[in-house]
Amino acid sequence: MRISILTLFPEMFSIFDHSIIGRAKEKGLVNLEYYNIRDYSLNKHKKVDDYPYGGGAGMVMTPQPIIDSIKAAKEKNSGKVIFLGPRGKTFNQEMAQELSKEENLIFLCGHYEGIDERAYKYIDMEVSLGDFVLTGGEMAAIPVIDSVLRLIPGVLGKEESFMDESYSDGLLEYPQYTRPEVYEGERVPEVLLSGHHENIRKWRRKQSLLITKERRKDLYKNIQLTKEDMKILKDDRL
């Protein structure tokens, strides 16, 4: 996958040079390229913002450098232009899965009090992380891009690595344990030590259902419980 990132601060994305995404880049599974929006400003001082018409606090990013940077990215990248902004649809795992199927994507990071409305006609999709404010689109772009890239085949060690994760099937993930078997008097659940794969699967399913019901009722209400689910929830042995 090729991802072009349009930003005023390309250096903020050095995080993708490390760990899982860094290795994916080395393998050629993903290609990240950066466009500094300021480089496309026609202003002699490379200014990219100005005061809002009608008054108000803060500055607004001007349309010209945004649009020209999008056009420059489009010369090599035919993907959708995604703007990280507060008016967008809230990002979730389903959206990450859909975007991971694309071959090319372009992410536009805003700053200040937003972008000039006339730039929106060059944007295909606006995405928000939630109902809170960040100091810049870069901080929103990083988790969105990471969640998309890790779903590309080969980026994680095994496909199973993300198959059972939170939100992959609409549920929160079940509890995880590793060595030691006993820590501060608390033991790993016996079923996980049993080697009985079917009972382990049922235990994990039950835990996911219970945790989601307790912590995310908004997700739980959308779950269609199967006959097995109802049986598992009633089974005190799990």
Q: What CATH number is given to the structural domain containing 44? A: 3.40.1280.10
Are residues 115 and 180 both part of a single domain? no
- pLDDT at residue number 165: 65
Q: What is the CATH number of the domain that holds 174?
A: 1.10.1270.20
- Structural domains in the chain (count): 2
Are residues 7 and 52 both part of a single domain? yes
- pLDDT at residue number 155: 96
Kindly state whether residue 154 falls inside one of the protein's structural domains. Answer: no
Are residues 195 and 100 both part of a single domain? no
- pLDDT at residue number 157: 78
DSSP 12-57: GGGGGGSHHHHHHHHTTS-EEEEEEGGGG--STT---EEPPTT--S
Are residues 29 and 73 both part of a single domain? yes
How high does pLDDT run on average in the chain? 94
Any idea which residue has 């040079």 for tokens? 17
Kindly state whether residue 125 falls inside one of the protein's structural domains. Answer: yes
The span from the CA of 218 to the CA of 58, in Å, is: 36
What tens digit of pLDDT does each residue of 143-175 get? 999 999 999 999 997 655 666 666 668 899 999
- pLDDT at residue number 161: 61
Of 123, 149, 175, the residue that ends a domain is 149
- The closest of 112, 120, 232 to 171, measured between CA atoms, is 232
Residue 5 near residue 34 (C-beta atoms within 8 A): yes
Name 72's Cβ contacts closer than 8 Å, sequence gap at least 6.
35, 40
Of 149, 184, 211, the residue that ends a domain is 149
Of 92, 125, 149, the residue that ends a domain is 149
Kindly state whether residue 159 falls inside one of the protein's structural domains. Answer: no
Are residues 67 and 174 both part of a single domain? no
Kindly state whether residue 155 falls inside one of the protein's structural domains. Answer: no
- pLDDT at residue number 113: 85
Q: CA angle 94-95-97, nearest 5°?
A: 65
Are residues 12 and 88 both part of a single domain? yes
Residue 65 phi/psi, 5-degree rounding, is: -65, -30
Are residues 112 and 191 both part of a single domain? no
Please write down the long-range contacts of 90-95, taking CB distance under 8 Å and 24 or more positions apart.
Answer: 90/127, 90/128, 90/129, 90/130, 91/127, 91/128, 91/129, 91/144, 91/147, 92/167, 93/147, 93/166, 93/167, 93/168, 94/167, 95/127
- pLDDT at residue number 112: 85
Are residues 118 and 179 both part of a single domain? no
Domain interval for residue 36: 2-149
The span from the CA of 200 to the CA of 193, in Å, is: 9
Are residues 68 and 145 both part of a single domain? yes
Are residues 123 and 96 both part of a single domain? yes
Are residues 143 and 188 both part of a single domain? no
Kindly state whether residue 183 falls inside one of the protein's structural domains. Answer: yes
Kindly state whether residue 214 falls inside one of the protein's structural domains. Answer: yes
Are residues 168 and 145 both part of a single domain? no
Kindly state whether residue 158 falls inside one of the protein's structural domains. Answer: no
- pLDDT at residue number 122: 98
- Mark the ranges of the chain whose per-residue pLDDT is less than 50: none
The span from the CA of 22 to the CA of 182, in Å, is: 35
